[in-house]
Amino acid sequence: MELKNLIKSKNLNTKITLRNPIVMAPMTTFSANEDGTVSDAELSYYKKRAKEVGMVITATTYVAPSGKGFQGEFAAYNKSFLPSLRKLAETIKGEGALAILQIFHAGRMALPDEIPGGQPISASAVAAERPGAVVPKEMTEAEIQELIKAFSETTKLAIEAGFDGVEIHGANTYLLQQFISPHSNRREDFWGGSRDKRRNFPLAVIAEVKKTVKEKGAENFIVGYRFSPEEIENPGITLEDTLSFVDILADQGLSYLHASLMNFWQSSIRDAKETSPVINKLIDQIHGRVPFIGVGAINTPEDALKALESGVDLVALGREIIIEPDWTSKIQLGKASEIRTKLNKNDREVLSVPVPLWNAIVNTPGWFPIEE
């Protein structure tokens, strides 16, 4: 496979074409305005990166006030946020990329100081295994139904704001994953008790989002789903659980699936005997039924080519697209050798990275490769 494959257009389906298979991965910016609207700094950050990639998946936004998972996270839970969301969609699409709004609820990972009443909610009253974790309140049937509707309402906002699609965030230990996990879901009703029942909540959210898209007549609107293959908790989600769930997800009429991995080629984080790459097992299980996005420590064009050769349809760049917003254009201009793979501490303004995100990067050792 040659470098030109990284700048060739790619069909997501028969009606949707991306200008290239490179996706900007969803990464929180910690940089929204106090009122939950998208800040000008965030708009500049997306504008600089959207001019190169095929698709931008935004930082995740919360579908209900109880779901805020980060300081400085922008919101999308009622019509008051529509002008803000519209600006974001227009900024990304104005640069030629497809604009995907990632939507979620943090569940037990919500920040008590940032949510009404300070009481996180989840599938069951089981605290996360992390320092200072708060025991969440077990959600009632009414609250579950309300939240399914909240995902639908945020999808409506995304359609009205002009986004090309939404990505349902079912990964990274947040609420949808909390329902799937035997660690956080100890229920014995329709929403838990067996592996199949623990999947009912995410499947209900997917069905409701798809129904909303249909009712709004949003033809060609993209609905993606992101998942984490495993959890380190015991009991927790195993790779076997995920392969079985992915088998179901691949038949849900989704536009794509997106694995959340730290490293594209990583093996199991639960089972040391399992040494083959998780991604290969996922590709085999999906078996071409739905487009699949791979991600994780892809830095150079060679990394991306190798990833595409594995059988994924699209490749998402996270940290690398922050370090090098011109990643694709340098390939296009025959300057692939000039692609930066380390962050220079003096380049914040040049790279249009919002100050809170920049501070998080430079003050978190080992997160980004940084040259002094």
pLDDT above 80: residue 221: yes
pLDDT above 90: residue 250: yes
pLDDT tens figures, 130-182? 998 999 999 999 999 999 999 999 999 999 999 999 999 999 999 999 999 99
Distance CA 249, CA 240 (A): 14
What would the two tokens of residue 5 be? 């494959």
The catalytically annotated residue of 46, 62, 77, 174 is: 174
Cβ atoms 59, 26 nearer than 8 A: yes
46 in catalytic set = no
pTM to 2 decimal places = 0.98
- What average pLDDT score do residues 284-288 get? 97
- What average pLDDT score do residues 67-90 get? 98
- Continuous H helices in 287-348: 301-309, 319-323, 327-332
Contacts of 60 (CB under 8 A, 6+ apart): 26, 28, 69, 73, 102, 103, 104, 169
| Domains within the chain, CATH numbers bracketed | 3-371 (3.20.20.70)
pLDDT above 70 covers a percentage of the chain that reads 100
Q: Please, which pLDDT band fits residue 372 given cuts at 50, 70 and 90?
A: confident
